[in-house]
Amino acid sequence: MAPLTETNLRALNVTSLSGAVALVTGGNRGIGRAIALRLAAMGATVAICGRDLKALQSVEAELTGRTARVFSQVADVTRSADVASLVAKTEAALGPISILVNNAGVGGFGPAHDKSEEDWDRVLNTNLKSVFLVSRAVAPSMIRAGRGDIINISSLAGRNAFAGGGLYCASK
């Protein structure tokens, strides 16, 4: 990934995220990894979570040296207990979360009539319920601080359905 240049920072009207603590769900791969690396490049302290320990460790190693402090934790953001633990441990390690990026997501493609109720629950819980759970967990400290940003990563699939994407499109 190319570094964020001073020109691009000025274009974004952001000079630095120094002092910010960012939590990126699904930060262990793909778009979440790229977001975590960009936030670190902009000076934020970064926490990531995901379900794959090896992938988390790999991204944590990439983040180390790009930001002052890094925190990672295996967490299933569809479970309230995991979310509570994640937020508590992140804030204990890094301080209050000031930026939340709800990025965790899964697919579940194919004809909807061939999918099970468990498939439906997995997609909706990951792509939709997790946004509620994690946002609800970080909002109180943001409200106390009088500031904070919650960014929800979505998809045009929520507006433009496609064949075989019934579960995914419904979740977006």
Is position 168 annotated as part of the catalytic site?
yes
Q: Which of 168, 169, 171, 172 is catalytic?
A: 168
Q: Are 130 and 87 in contact (CB under 8 A)?
A: no
> Quick one: which of 168, 3, 35, 144 has its CA closest to 48?
35
Continuous segment of H or E residues that includes residue 92: helix 80-94
Output the CA torsion 57→59→63→65 (10° steps).
60
Of the candidates 31, 75, 81, the one whose C-alpha atom is nearest the C-alpha of residue 49 is 75
Show which residues are catalytic. Answer: 168
